[in-house]
């Protein structure tokens, strides 16, 4: 598996994965908008010749936010998401980020296990954040500050 920056030519494959993997998939227009976002950062995991997962982030150093992480259902439970997150955290840290935030459905046990394994901790709840069905989001945070370096109070959370 190779993790690399997302390229515009990956869009068709990402759209197919999105439609087959997500209960409320992002539209092609939304995906294109993220690819072109000035403060966006996106990676894909390529398994052989095919994209098998992807992640979109927003960066406003020293903070970053994971917006979307998707793995093709055929490639789940093969460390694709873990590999994407590990590489992304290293890249974000290299760009000056010391914290990464994300929201996840409270009922998404698989994602919660993944995020816990990769260093995220629960730091809050957003009531009724999701629709279809209405559900709370859990706010998770990963501290990426180098050991021995404290975060500025401005980045200590919401």
CB atoms within 10 A of CB 114: 17
Using the predicted structure, report yes or no on whether residue 7 has a pLDDT greater than 80: yes
- What pLDDT was estimated at residue 149? 53
Quick: pLDDT tens for 40-57.
Answer: 999 999 998 899 999 999
More confident residue, 27 or 156: 27
- What pLDDT was estimated at residue 127? 96
Strand partners, 55: 43, 69
Using the predicted structure, report yes or no on whether residue 135 has a pLDDT greater than 70: yes
Q: What is the DSSP letter of 49?
A: T
């Amino acid at each position: 598996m190779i993790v690399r920056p997302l390229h515009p030519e990956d869009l068709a494959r990402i759209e197919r994965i999105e439609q087959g993997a997500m209960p409320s998939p992002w539209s092609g227009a939304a995906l294109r908008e993220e690819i072109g976002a000035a403060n966006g950062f996106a990676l894909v995991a390529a398994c052989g010749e095919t994209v098998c997962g992807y992640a979109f982030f927003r960066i406003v150093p020293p903070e970053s936010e994971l917006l979307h992480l998707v793995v093709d259902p055929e490639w789940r439970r093969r460390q694709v998401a873990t590999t994407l997150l590990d590489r992304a955290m290293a890249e974000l840290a290299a760009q000056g980020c010391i914290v990464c935030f994300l929201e996840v459905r409270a009922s998404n046990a698989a994602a919660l296990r993944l995020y816990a394994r990769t260093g995220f901790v629960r730091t809050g709840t957003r009531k009724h954040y999701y629709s279809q069905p209405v559900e709370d989001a859990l706010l998770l945070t990963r501290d990426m500050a180098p050991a021995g370096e404290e975060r500025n109070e401005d980045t200590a959370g919401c």
